[in-house]
Amino acid sequence: MNERSFMVAINIRRFDIVRLGKKDKYHRILDAAVKVFAKQGFFQSTISQIAKQAGVADGTIYLYFKNKDDILFQFFSFKTKQVFEGFREEVDKADNAIDKLRNLIRRHLYEFQRDRNMAIVYQTETHQNNRLAEAQIKEMSKMYLDIVLEIVEFGQEEGSMRRDLYMGLVKRVIIGSVDEVINTWIHSGGKYDLVSMVDPLVELFIKGVGVNHSPSTE
């Protein structure tokens, strides 16, 4: 390698280090913001609080984000979207509809339990219908609804789920139940294993709450 080639290689390496450093700082600030949002609430949080949590100067925030609104937008565009895209991977690992449903719910509860701050911010802002990330929230909601619909239709085809179902109601019952389980866990302070709710939820979805009595015979 001649001197020119050596210097080019060094400069490329320096560029990669700077680029990686910027990426790390971006994620550090985003993670810090999520912690602050979870504790303070989005509207009560300030750029200064986020900067202090991230260990950077206030001005550094603006090198990566336009403002506080943009941080929330990035949270929904990248952080939570990445989590939701992982649901598909888990669903595809199963061969039957009930296991697909179980895998979906397990991954959902696992990811939210693994990052409680993310769970708090996601649940709070989606329930408040925050217009700052309305498009992203709708996109993730549709993604989830589509997966649930696909699972139920697959179950109907294989004979493990009833065909006389009102699909719109089924999708909302499943999503609403999982959502409420997460909210209850958050309000409890995360004091129990959220993932332990997977099997009871699936059992409830598949078997319902009624008892199928056979007609009595005299």
Q: What is the pLDDT of residues 186-213, one digit of tens each?
A: 999 989 999 999 999 999 999 987 776 5
109 and 200 fall within a common domain: yes
Report if residue 214 sits inside a domain.
no
Give the domain range for residue 8. Answer: 1-65
CATH number of the domain encompassing residue 45: 1.10.10.60
Residue with the two structure tokens 């750029």: 47
Spatial separation of the C-alpha atoms in residues 34 and 75, rounded to whole Å: 8
Residue that terminates a domain, selected from 65, 86, 121? 65
Report if residue 217 sits inside a domain.
no
CA dihedral sign, ordered 197, 75, 83, 35: negative
Residue that terminates a domain, selected from 38, 65, 92? 65
By the 10 Å C-beta count (0-12 exposed, 13-18 middle, 19+ buried), 9 is classed as exposed
Spatial separation of the C-alpha atoms in residues 84 and 153, rounded to whole Å: 20
Judge contact between 76 and 140, C-beta under 8 A.
Answer: yes
Closest CA to 27 of 67, 87, 81, 74: 74
46 and 75 fall within a common domain: no
Report if residue 196 sits inside a domain.
yes
Q: What is the pLDDT of residues 15-72, one digit of tens each?
A: 333 343 567 899 999 999 999 999 999 999 999 999 999 999 999 999 999 999 999 9
Q: What is the pLDDT of residues 124-141, one digit of tens each?
A: 988 886 677 788 888 888
111 and 141 fall within a common domain: yes
By the 10 Å C-beta count (0-12 exposed, 13-18 middle, 19+ buried), 97 is classed as buried
pLDDT at 6 (0 to 100) = 41
